[in-house]
Chains A and B, each alone.
Chain A
Amino acid sequence: MARRTRRTPYKVFRAVALALVVVSLLAPLVWMVAASFKTNVDIYDTSKAFAFTPVLENYTKVLDQANYFQFIGNSLWVAFAATVLSLILGVPAAYSMSRFNMRKSALVVLMARVIPGVSLLVPWYYVFSNLKLVGGFSVLILSHMFVSLPLVVYIMMGFFDGLPLELEESALVDGLTHIGAFRRITLPLSAPGIATAGILSFIFSWNNFMFALVLSGADTKTLPVAIFDFVGYASIDWGGLMAASTVVTLPIMVIALFVQKYVVSGLTAGATKG
């Protein structure tokens, strides 16, 4: 009851503060998208910061000349493959680790979150360049799984921890085997968890930069690496750069909008259990 009668000054303060938060978070992104529709002449003319004629030339540059359709395809393929493989390996593993309380084993998988990427890249680079695999998709997908698999295990373990045992037990009584119960009862019930893990894994793989920087070749480049095509030694093609940045980041923001609930639950997974 006391809560309803909150004083108006606080409400005003909160509204102003939150409006400020929203503006400072969104304005830079809007600025990036706006710049992607400006000619380089307009970008250099600060008097045209807000009043400019939108043009599509940066996007034709990015998509036509800079070969971005191929890089979009590369990014999609790598993120998709890494996510599917991580789910195949990670979901059963998380199930076992949750049901059999294998906390030490889980730690091995979660270690991957702690280790600096470079310290994995050096040995990988040694091995894979001797196997002549650097520049191919297989190694790239493998490296991205390194980001997504621990994420899947982490999120799914939390999910299975919260799933009641009774349903599985009654399935066992009905004559299903343990694996049968996992497949026909637990997995369908885990759809929201799997969606969360899959979406997060896709986003993190799509955004990953360092692994692709070292392990991808000219034909297998992913979008975050391809962005650098617009940064020259002497000068930067700002319009093209902002269009390229928008092409990378806007799809993922739109997807996140639609599956907001899953993204938030994935990002905060396990945070409140302490």
Chain B
Amino acid sequence: MAVIASTPPSSTDTSAWSRWANNHRKWLFAAPAMVFVGALIIFPLAWTLYLSLTDAEGSVRAESEFIGFANYLEVLSDTDRFWPAVLRTFGFTGVALFFEVVLGMAVALLLWRPFRGEKWVRVAILMPLVATPVAVGMMWRLIFDPNIGMANQLLGWFGIGPQPWLAGQHSALPTTIFIDVWQWTPMVVLILLAGLTSLSNEPDEAARVDGANAWQRFRHITLPLLMPTVIVAILLRGIDALKTFDILYATKGRGGGSFHEVETLNVYAYGLSFDYNEYGVSSTVLIIFFLIIIGSMWALTSRRKKGAR
């Protein structure tokens, strides 16, 4: 700063506005984005919180009354739609995350060391990631169609009878998990691969010299070093998996299917809001959902800090 003051600035740079702008550039740069996001987040969140305490429903112009925590009592005692949706949300996220991290780790390790044709594998890995989720849902909907789908034809070649897949009351959720794993395992691969590439070779080499086998080196050298990246991958994927909507809506339609087979919290809240216009109740579900997401993130990051120590 002192250097600037001593150099003679050009005449255009000394205008009052320019000096003011330079002195306040920190907030001048940051404020527009923050105001934009802040206004579009904080205001909606506050409104959602307010709506959750009212009986708002029907038209957006309709009068609503303040009813305290009645919605929360109603939602939390709803074992018909709400709690099954909570279970499905956690089931979906947990199982999908498990497979994505395990498969993602396996593929990342396979890709770790350079080899011929690596480029093609990387291209293949990128494709599901950038594909439009709704289109991906439709694509699998055809493949998993019980009558004309390729999946059942494939099983037929191995002598296995046709499965209902998305059409089955109990197989729909696992099938959507499969679709999520297909689309997002590549994301985990990319993140873990970036982590692996940034690791130093030395500990691995040292262990090799000491005679550790591949599994021992992975378990005791690579995995602990990679753990922070694994947590990041789990965090990023976990947040998105909790909020999964597109593929569920594309494959099963409104309400997560006629028996709500794949109705997660997000799908439930969407249906309450825009199919039934139950804004008060849906806001309550959303506030609870939001707390669940924050809570899971907090649990993960606090474990991450403990692990770093």
A25 at the interface (CB under 8 A from B): yes
Q: Name which residue of chain A comes closest to B107, CB basis.
A: A21
A111–B124 Cα distance when bound, in Å, is: 31
Q: Are A122 and B148 within 8 A (Cβ)?
A: no
Indicate if A62 sits at the interface (CB-CB under 8 A).
no
Chain B residues near A100 (CB-CB < 8 A)? 26, 30
Considering only residues 236-267 of chain A, those with a C-beta below 8 Å from chain B are 236, 238, 241-242, 244-246, 248-249, 252-253, 256-257, 260, 263-264, 267
**Chain A nearest CB, measured from B265 CB (Å):** 8
Expressed in whole angstroms, the Cα–Cα distance for A252 and B244 within the complex equals 21
Flag if A248 contacts B32 (CB, 8 Å). Answer: no
CB distance from B100 to the nearest CB of A (A): 13
In this assembly, does B222 line the interface, its C-beta being within 8 Å of a C-beta of chain A?
no
A85 to chain B, nearest CB (A): 9
Residue contact B273 to A122, C-beta cutoff 8 Å: yes
Q: How far is it, in angstroms, between the C-alpha of A130 and the C-alpha of B287 when the chains are bound?
A: 23
B138, A177: Cβ atoms under 8 Å? no
Is B139's beta carbon under 8 Å from chain A? Answer: yes
Cβ of B184 to closest chain A Cβ, rounded Å: 11
Q: Which residues of B contact A22 (CB under 8 A)?
A: 120-121, 124
Q: Check if A173 sits within 8 Å of B22, measured CB to CB.
A: no
Grouping DSSP codes into helix (H, G, I), strand (E, B) and loop, the A interface class, with mixed when no group exceeds half, is: helix
Nearest chain B residue, comparing its CB with the CB of A270: B232
| Assembly CA distance A95 to B193 (angstroms) | 27
Contact yes or no, B270 A260, CB < 8 A: no
Q: Check: B93 CB closer than 8 A to any chain A CB.
A: no
Would you call A3 and B113 a contact (CB within 8 A)? yes
Contact A260 B123 (CB under 8 A): yes
- The answer for the CA separation of A209 and B47 in the assembled complex, in Å, is 23
Q: Does B71 reach chain A (CB closer than 8 Å)?
A: no
**Are A179 and B22 neighbours in the complex by a CB distance under 8 Å?**
yes
Within the complex, which residue of B36, B41, B273 is in contact with A111, where a contact is CB–CB below 8 Å? Answer: B41
Tally chain B residues at the interface, Cβ within 8 Å.
105
Complex partner residue of A241 from B113, B142, B289, CB under 8 angstroms = B142
Chain B residue numbers with a CB within 8 Å of A146 are: 37, 40
Contact B3–A172 (Cβ < 8 Å):
yes
Size band of the interface chain A makes with B:
35 or more
- A109 contacts B by Cβ under 8 Å: yes
Q: Flag whether A112 is at the interface (Cβ < 8 A).
A: yes
- The 8 A CB mask of A118-140 against B (1 = contact, 0 = none) is 11111111100110000000000
Q: Evaluate contact between A123 and B134: CB separation under 8 angstroms.
A: no
How far, in angstroms, from A231 to B141 measured CA to CA in the complex? 11
Stretch of A27-35, A51-59, A66-74, A189-197 at the chain-chain interface: A27-35
Contact with A along B243-279 (1 / 0, CB 8 A): 1011001100100000000000110011001100001
**Chain B binding surface, main DSSP class:** helix
Q: How far is the CB of A86 from chain B (nearest CB, A)?
A: 9
Task: Indicate whether B170 reaches chain A with its CB closer than 8 angstroms.
Answer: no
Least distance between A184 CB and chain B CB atoms (Å): 12
Binary A-proximity of B142-173 (CB < 8 A = 1, otherwise 0): 11000010100100000000000000000000
Q: Is A117 an interface residue (CB 8 A)?
A: yes
Shortest beta-carbon distance, A158 to chain B, in Å?
Answer: 12
- From known contacts A44-B148, A210-B245, infer whether A177 and B18 are also in contact, taking CB-CB under 8 Å: yes
Interchain CA distance A118-B208 in the complex, whole Å? 51
Cβ-defined partner of B273 (8 Å) among A31, A113, A121:
A121
Q: Is the pair A227, B4 in contact by a Cβ cutoff of 8 Å? A: no
Using Cβ atoms and an 8 Å threshold, which residues of chain A touch B134? 207, 209, 224, 227, 245, 248
Interface residues of A in 62-105 (CB under 8 A from B): 89-90, 92-93, 95-97, 99-100, 102, 105
Q: Which residue of A lies closest to B286 (CB)?
A: A119
Cβ of A175 under 8 Å from chain B? yes
Closest to A3 in B: B113
Kindly state the separation between the CA atoms of A241 and B283 in the bound complex, as whole angstroms.
34
Of the listed residues A95, A126, A146, the one surrounded by the most CB atoms of chain B closer than 10 A to its CB is A126
Report which A residues bind B (CB closer than 8 A). 2-3, 6, 11, 14, 17-18, 21-22, 24-26, 28-29, 31-32, 35, 43-44, 46, 49, 89-90, 92-93, 95-97, 99-100, 102, 105, 108-109, 111-126, 129-130, 142, 145-146, 149-150, 153, 172-173, 175, 177-180, 182, 203, 206-207, 209-210, 213-214, 223-224, 227, 231, 236, 238, 241-242, 244-246, 248-249, 252-253, 256-257, 260, 263-264, 267-268, 270-272, 274
In the assembled complex, 21 residue pairs joining A and B whose CB atoms fall closer than 8 Å, in A order, are: A2-B208, A18-B111, A44-B148, A93-B34, A102-B30, A111-B41, A112-B40, A116-B289, A116-B290, A118-B273, A119-B283, A123-B51, A125-B273, A129-B60, A207-B134, A214-B274, A245-B132, A245-B138, A257-B123, A268-B191, A274-B308
